[in-house]
Structure 1
Amino acid sequence: MHTRAAYASMILVAQVADQLRHKEPLFDFNDGALLARQFFGRTFETKVGNISFDELGQSLAEIGIGYYDPAEDEFVPFLSYKRLSEASKIEVIGQVRWMDGVWPVPSEPLCGFQGLKCAVDNAFWRTVGGATAGALAVSLSLLFITRRVLREQMIHHLLWWNLDPSLLVGTQLRLRAPSMLQRFGIAARLFAGSRVGINHSGSQFERMAQGGWY
């Protein structure tokens, strides 16, 4: 921007100096006020655009307002501001194509002038998100409990013939193979019983013999 302005200034001075150089009588370049008045009320054509001055020497700049078009990858002007000597004028030179919005744009920014409205909206949506997550967790828990209860009821109906152990009457005998010590104890008791029987039989036979039973 500064390079463009410097180039335009050099072109303006060169054009005025070249015109004054051919004047008769010779122009006095030492008179600065007279030199400055040579720029008033004129429009200069340059390679960077037209530059105009009014009768007071003020620049009549033409300001363009535009937008960036991402589809064409270029800056597109749609408003032009021309400062005239009588009045200022804004000229519409094209229609703006907004990506997400309408024309004219709202007078207030989306988040407000202090940016507080977006913070309130974010807090609201965080609250809604937390409540939704909590409701989803409770729903999943109820679904899990209901599914488990229904499964137990289905198993109970399928096993209707299975008796409840608490309803059984009597003693349940458990048949287990005797251990080595138990087998040894049983053999010892049988052997002792045989000896008692033999001794008892021998004593009885002796009494019968003494009594003359033989």
Structure 2
Amino acid sequence: MLMMTAQVTTEILCSDQRHLLWDGAAVARKFYNRTFQLRTGNFEFDRFGAVYGRDYLLQQFGQSGQLTLLQYIPAEPFQMGEVRSVEWPGPLWPVPNRPVCGYDGQDRVCWASSVQYIETAVASAATLLVIFPLMALVLLRLIREHSDKLPWWLISGNSPQMCSGKRILSCFGSARVLRSRHAIAE
């Protein structure tokens, strides 16, 4: 039905009758009195919209990938006639009608156990116990290398000065009074 609807919609758009897309009855009339030739077979609608022909149950899972007729439904007796059996592509066919973890993925079967959480916490803590000391060592090493490059050991020309034998500037620039025995004796 999807392919037939797509074909009718394309015809409406190509014939520049877009206003018909807003009118469901007009779109339905485009299906009347015509035959649709599809990959799955021909579908014919009469002037009232009734379908003529057989309905099919086809399969495409086969080795060739081609459509294979499995069952047909004739128009009059409405009884399904089997042509051949269905070939399922795997051992678990038909697939279960409910997902393993439920439709929302929250079934108890899929919940992680508390053991997994404990293992994850222990592994994370052990990793952090290794990473943080290593980062601290690297940081201390970088600070030490940076401080080794500073010229703290250079003495400027006017740092240690004797002013009349009583003052000297220390390396930190503060003046101190030096008193010798001679200065005290005077």
Q: What is the TM-score normalised by the length of structure 2?
A: 0.34
Instruction: Name the structure where helix makes up a greater proportion of residues.
Output: 1
Return the TM-score normalized by structure 1: 0.31
